[in-house]
Chains A and B, each alone.
Chain A
Amino acid sequence: MEKFLTLSAIAAPLLRDNIDTDVIIRIDRLVGGRPDELGKYAFELLRYLPDGGENPDFILNLKPYRRAQILLAGANFACGSSREPAVWALQQMGFRCVIAPSFGDIFFANCFQNGMLPIVLDRPTVEAIAAEVEADPEHGFVTVDLEKQTIVSPSGRKIRFEIEPARREALLAGLDEIGMTMSREAEIAAFQARDRNRRPWVYR
C-alpha cells in the first residue's frame, strides 16, 4: 500500500450531505467497465450532461479544482454500498484525502486499505476551510500532515485532527494488513480449536 505522510494540494469543496457511493461510481461501471477507467466515471451523473458533455456547473469541473487532491465534503460522505471502487475512483481522479463531518462506515474503513486519508472534522470547521478555499480557489492550498495530525488552511490556520493510532501507523508505513494478520496464524488456529468445542455447529 502507498504511504501517506504529508500532502499540500488544492482542496475542492463539495459540501452537500449524503453523497452516496452510487453517486461516486455507478454500478454499471463496476460490472462492465475497466478497473483503470473508474476515475473517468467518478461522480458521473453530476459531472457530465445527458449528452455526454461536461457539466460546466459542477464544481469539480471548474479549472482550479481539476487539480484538487483534497476533497472537502458534507456529512455522511460515501454512505451506502460497500464498493471499494468508490475509493479507487476518487484516487484515479487525483484525490488522496477527504475531509468531512462524517463518513459512511464501510467507505471509511476502505480508505485505510488504499492509502487514502479520511479526516473527520466538525461541520463548522469544514465549512470554514471551504470558505477560505472559495475566496481564492487558485491558491486554495490545504496542507495535511499525518505525522503531526495537523491541517493548515489556505490562510495559515492550524487545525488538529484525530485518528486511530493503529490506522495512522499503517498509513504512515504503508503496511499490508493481510501480511500482519498472517503472522498471527497460531493465534487464529488456537481460537478455532477452542471454539470448535464451544460452538461446534459453526464449523460445518
Chain B
Amino acid sequence: MGRTLFDKIWHEHVVADLGNGVALMHVDLHLMHDLGGGPGLRTLAEKGYRVRNPELTFATADHAVSSAPGRTEDTNPVGGRLLRMLREASASNGIRMFDLGSDGQGIVHVIGPEMGLSLPGMTIVCGDSHTCTHGGVGALAFGIGSTELVHVLATQTLVQRKPRRMRVTMDGTPHAGVTPKDLILHLIGLAGAAAGSGFAVEYAGPAIRALGVEGRLTICNLSIELGAKIGMVAPDDATFEYLADRPMAPKGEMWDRAVTHWRRLNSDDDAEFDREVRFDADALAPQVTWGTSPEHVIAIDGRVPDPDGAGDAGRRASMRAALEYMALKPGAPLEGLPIERVFIGSCTNSRLSDLREAARVVKGAKVASRVRAWVVPGSTGVKRAAEAEGLDRIFRDAGFEWREPGCSLCVGANGEMVEPGARCVSTSNRNFVGRQGPGARTHLASPVTAAAAAIAGRLVDVRKLGMEPWKNS
C-alpha cells in the first residue's frame, strides 16, 4: 500500500519506536516567541538541563510587543520585560533571535517560511497552536505546550502518538472575491471545529494546487480551528520557487540536493486516508463567522442559523450562548451589519499577498467614519516590502492605521484590544468569547471582505464590488 505525505515525513523522523503507535520523534526546527521562550528557557535551567541543539532553535518577539507606530520595546512594558528575558536567555544559550527592527522579526508563523527557516519535510514545533501554518510549505509542524517545549529544548525530540490521516480535497476554481481564507472557513463550517481532532490533515486538489504558498499557509493556519494540530500541503515547484534564495534556505549544491529530496514528499496514488472530505470551490461565496467558534460560519449572503435546528444539546447550548454574546438573532442576515473595527493582520492573513489584495479594495476609497481600521503587517520583512510597493500609502490615504508587526489585535496579549460590545471584522483565526478583548464581537473574514467592510462601515459581499480573482504569491 502507498504512503501518505504525512507517513513519509513521520517515518524519516522516528528516533525510537515506543510501541502502541507512540514514537520518539526528532525535531528539526524549534521556533520560540516572547510569551513562551523566556519562561521555557528559565524552566530548563531550573531543572538543570541545557539546550541540546541551539543551532536548531530560533526566537522572535511577536505576541506582547506593541504594534503602535514608532514603538519601542517598552511601549508595552510587560512585553518589554518578556522580550528582554527572551533576548538574554537566547544569547546565553547560543540561540539566534530576530530582534525588533530586523527583517526576521514578526509573527513566528510568518517569519518561519519567509526567512526560509521552515522547509519541506521538516518537523517544526513551537509553543503555539498555529504552528500548523508551516505545513503550507510541506513541513510536519504542530504546536506544543510548555512542558513539551522544555522537553524539546533538552532533548531535541518529542514523544508523539501517530495521528490518523485525513485528506481534504478542494475541487474547482473559486469565484473572484473568494480567497483561501474563505475556502478553509467553509471547510470548518462543513465538517465542524472538532472534525480534525486526532488527525493530521493533508489539503489537496486543483483548488489547492492553484494557490501560491502564502494561500496554502493561510489554509494550513486554520487546521487547528478544524481541530487538527497538523495541516499540510505537498511541496511542488511553487513551493521551491517561493523558498529559493530566502535568507536561511540552503544554497547552491545543497539546495539542489534538498529539492531532489523534497520532490519525493507527496502522497502515493494508492495511499489510504482514514477520512476523506471533498468539496467544490466553484460555487462558494465569501465566508463570515457569526458566532464564537470558527465553525459558526456562513456565506456572506446567508442567514444566521437557528439553534433549535441543531443536532444535539451541547451544540444548541454553544450556539445559543454565541448568539447572545454576538447580539444576533436567528434568521438575521450578515450582509449590512454595521461594524466598528477592522483588523487586517495575524498569522492567518498578514503576508504581502494579503495586503496587496486588501489594498486593491481600499485604493482610492475612504474608511467609513464609524470604523477604526488597522493594518498590522505580519513581519518587519512584509512591512518593508509593502512600503516599497506603496501599499502603506494606499491604506493610510484611506484612513487605515499602518502599524508595526506583531500579533496585536488577534489576541490582545500586548494590551491592544477591541472595546466591549464593538463589532470587529478580523482576518485572524479565532472568534472566541473575549479573544479580542472582553465583550469584543469578532467576525472572521478574508482580507478583501475586511477591507470592504472598513470602507462600507458594514459587512458587504465583495463579489458585488466587481473584484478580480485572488492573486497570490
Contacts and interface: CB of A to CB of B under 8 A. Distances in A.
A164 B227 contact: no
Contacts of B15: 184, 187-188, 191
B353 interface: no
B313 A181 contact: no
Interface residues of B, number: 82
B227 A113 contact: no
B122 interface: yes
Interface in B111-169: 119, 121-122, 127-129, 131, 142-148, 150-151, 154-157, 159, 161, 163
B305 interface: no
Interface string B187-200: 00000011001100
Given A23-B432, A182-B155, A127 B313 contact: yes
B314 A16 contact: yes
A173 interface: no
Contact of A201 (B20, B146, B258, B314): B258
Contacts of A139: none
21 contacts: A16-B314, A17-B315, A20-B430, A23-B433, A27-B411, A31-B64, A32-B78, A80-B432, A81-B143, A82-B131, A104-B197, A106-B129, A106-B142, A106-B144, A166-B18, A177-B147, A177-B151, A181-B24, A181-B159, A182-B155, A185-B155
B161 A203 contact: no
B321 interface: yes
A22 B143 contact: no
Contacts of A149: none
Contacts of B433: 20, 22-23, 45
A187 B15 CA distance: 7
A181 B151 CA distance: 8
A82 B156 CA distance: 19
Interface of B: 12, 15-16, 18-20, 22, 24, 26, 28-29, 35, 47, 49, 52, 55-56, 63-64, 78-79, 82, 119, 121-122, 127-129, 131, 142-148, 150-151, 154-157, 159, 161, 163, 193-194, 197-198, 224, 227-229, 248, 250, 254-255, 257-258, 261, 292-293, 295, 312-315, 317-318, 321, 411-413, 415, 420, 430, 432-435, 438-439
Given A113-B145, A184-B24, A23 B155 contact: no
A157 interface: no
Contacts of A81: 128-129, 143
Nearest to A81: B129
A5 to B, nearest CB: 21
Given A27-B413, A182-B49, 9 more contacts: A16-B318, A32-B78, A84-B145, A102-B227, A114-B147, A184-B24, A184-B157, A188-B157, A201-B119
